[in-house]
Amino acid sequence: MTALAAPPSSTDSSAIFSRLHATLKPEAVLTTPESLKPYECDGLSAYRQLPLAAVLPSTVQEVKDILKAAFDTGTKVIARGSGTGLSGGATPEADALLMSLAKFNRVLEVDPLARIARVEPGVRNLKISETVAPHGLYYAPDPSSQIACSIGGNVAENSGGVHCLKYGLTVHNILKVEGVLATGEAVTFGSHALDAPGYDLLAAVTGSEGMLAVITEVTVKLTPKPTLARVVMASFDAVEKAGDAVAAVIGAGIVPAGLEMMDKLATRAVEDFVHAGYDLDAEAILLCESDGTPEEVEEEIAKMESVMKAAGATACVVSNNEAERLKFWSGRKAAFPAVGRISPDYYCIDGSIPRRALALVLNRTAEMSEKYGLRCANVFHAGDGNLHPLILYDANVPGELERTEAFAAELLELCIEVGGTITGEHGVGIEKINQMCTQFKDAEREMFFALKRAFDETMLLNPGKAIPTLHRCAEYGRMHVRGGQLPHADLPRF
C-alpha cells in the first residue's frame, strides 16, 4: 500500500465536484434531490438520508479516480450494490458520496473445468447460476433476495441463504476479490489457488461491509448440480417441538442441504401469497432437504422423517418431483414479500443462536410480542440457528416504530444472552450498531478499528457503520434503548 499525504480534515464540496466532473460524464454525477431519492436508503427503509451526491462509475479506472479525488478532498464514500441489504449498510450520509456499482454487471469469465467464474460486483446472485447452468454447475449461496441482490453486496455482508448449512456462506464460496482502497490504489484479496501467501485477507474483506475497500471483481466457486434433491415438509403442533426437532436432526449426524423453519403467522401469509401447499393448522413447519445421488437421498430422507416423527412431527410430506420441491421452497423464498402483504411495514431482524436455544428464544420472542403489542412472524435458517424474526408494525401510527426498535434491540440482546451473536448474514450496518456495544468490549472494538485503519487510515469508507465508537457505547450505556434512546435519531424517518 502506497503511503500518501493525509487529506484535508473536512469535505470541500466544490473541490470534490470539480474533480468528479473532470473524471465522469455528466450523467454519472447525480446531485439534484429527485435524482438522489432512489439512493436514500437500502432495504432498511426506516432510516433515510440523501447523500452529498451519487456517482455511477462504469470502469475500474473511474472507481480509482473517484476514490483518489475523495481521498484528496477528505470526502467520505459509501459503496452501494443493489440496495437490498437489510441492516442499513448502504445508508448515505449528507456529506458523503454514494458510489453505485450498478453498471458493473458483467459475467467476465466462466471456467467449467476449474469450476470458477469471474464476475463484476453488480452481477445478480441468481444470474451466476443461470449463466453456468449449461455446464451443470451453480453458485451455492442463495439469499432469499437472490433474484435481485448483487454479488458485491453478498461479499460485503457475507450473505448466506437456505442452503448455507451444507454449502457454506459467501466466504466459503469465493476465491478472489479485486478492489480499490480509499486512496485509489488497486488491491487483490485471495487468489485462484487454494491458498494465498500471507494473512487470510480474503476472509477479512468478506463481511467487512464496504469499510475496507470498494469491490470491483469477484471470483466465485461453482458447485456441480446434485443428481437429485427432495424436501421433507414436517408439521408441528408447537413451536418448541419444531425447535427441538432441528437439534435432533443435526444431532443424528444428518447435514441437510437446507433446514428452514416458519411459524404459523409466516406460513399463513405465504400460503395466501404463493399457494405452496403448507399446513395451515401447524404451529410451525420445517423444510428439510436432502440432495445427492438417488440412493443417498432415499436413505437420508428416510432418516429425516424418522427423526422428525420421533421429535413430535404431526405430519411429514415429501416432495415427489422437482416441481413440488421448488413449490415448497417458493414459499420460504417468498416469505418476506408475503409478510409485507399483511402489514404496512415490517422490520427484519438477523441474529444467530446455538441450536439448543431455539425453543427458549422462540418462547421469549412470543413474550416480547405480547409485551410490545406487535405481531412477529418467525422465518429463519434453523439448521445454523440464524433467526429472521419479522416484526410487523405501521410507521404511520405514532410510537410503533419506536416500539419496534425496542423489540428488535431486546431480541438481539437475547441472542447474546444465550451465547449467540447479533448477526448471521445481514451485517451490522447502522441497525445493530448499538448492540455491538453489548456484544464486544472496548478493547475488542478498538481492534476492529485498528484493522480498518490498516486499510483506510482516514476512515473515509462507509463511516459510522458496523463498529460503534467509545462515545456511542458510553451514550448507549447511559440511555439504553429500552429506556427511551432512539438508535438513529440523527436520520430522517418515515
DSSP line for 249-269: HHHTT---SEEEEEEHHHHHH
The pLDDT score that the predictor gives to residue 479 is 63
pLDDT, average across residues 425-451 = 96
For the ranges 4-8, 153-157, 462-466, the lowest mean pLDDT is seen at 4-8
- Please tell me the distance from the alpha carbon of residue 381 to that of residue 258, in angstroms, as a whole number: 8
Give the strand pairing for 96-100 and 76-80: parallel
pLDDT for 195-242, tens place per residue? 888 899 999 999 999 999 999 999 999 999 999 999 999 999 999 999
For residue 186, count other CB atoms closer than 10 A to its CB.
14
The C-alpha cell at 100 is: 453505485
pLDDT for 345-402, tens place per residue? 999 999 999 998 998 999 999 999 999 999 999 999 999 999 999 999 999 999 999 9
CB 7 within 8 A of CB 458: yes
pLDDT for 75-87, tens place per residue? 999 999 999 999 9
The C-alpha cell at 239 is: 413451536
- 143, HSE (Cβ side, Cα atoms, 13 Å): 27
Indicate the burial class of 172 (C-beta count within 10 angstroms; 0-12, 13-18, 19 or more): middle
At residue 349, the 3 state secondary structure works out as coil
What class has domain 107-224?
alpha beta
pLDDT for 177-196, tens place per residue? 999 999 999 999 999 988 88
Beta strands in 293-405, from DSSP E residues, in sequence order = 315-318, 345-348, 351-352, 376-380, 386-387, 389-393
Say what angle helices 442-455 and 470-478 make with each other, to 10 degrees. 150
- Please tell me the distance from the alpha carbon of residue 381 to that of residue 169, in angstroms, as a whole number: 12
- Please tell me the distance from the alpha carbon of residue 351 to that of residue 421, in angstroms, as a whole number: 6
pLDDT for 100-145, tens place per residue? 999 999 999 999 999 999 999 999 999 999 999 999 999 999 998 9
Q: Which residues contact residue 332 at a Cβ distance below 8 angstroms, ignoring those fewer than 6 apart?
A: 144, 162, 260, 262, 270, 287, 379
Instruction: Spell out the domain ranges in the chain.
Output: 13-100, 107-224, 228-338, 341-483
The pLDDT score that the predictor gives to residue 8 is 43
CB 154 within 8 A of CB 208: no
What is the H or E stretch that residue 215 is in? Answer: strand 214-221
Least Cα distance to 263 among 230, 289, 287, 232 occurs for 287
What CATH number does the domain located at 228-338 have? Answer: 3.30.70.2190
Q: CATH topology of 228-338 equal to that of 341-483?
A: yes
What class has domain 341-483?
alpha beta
pTM for the model: 0.92
CB 262 within 8 A of CB 335: yes
Q: Give me the CATH topology for the region 13-100.
A: 3.30.43
Share of the chain above pLDDT 90, in %: 89
The pLDDT score that the predictor gives to residue 401 is 95
The pLDDT score that the predictor gives to residue 465 is 96
For residue 107, count other CB atoms closer than 10 A to its CB.
17
- Please tell me the distance from the alpha carbon of residue 178 to that of residue 164, in angstroms, as a whole number: 24
Distances (CA, A) of 308 to 232, 360, 432: 9, 19, 35
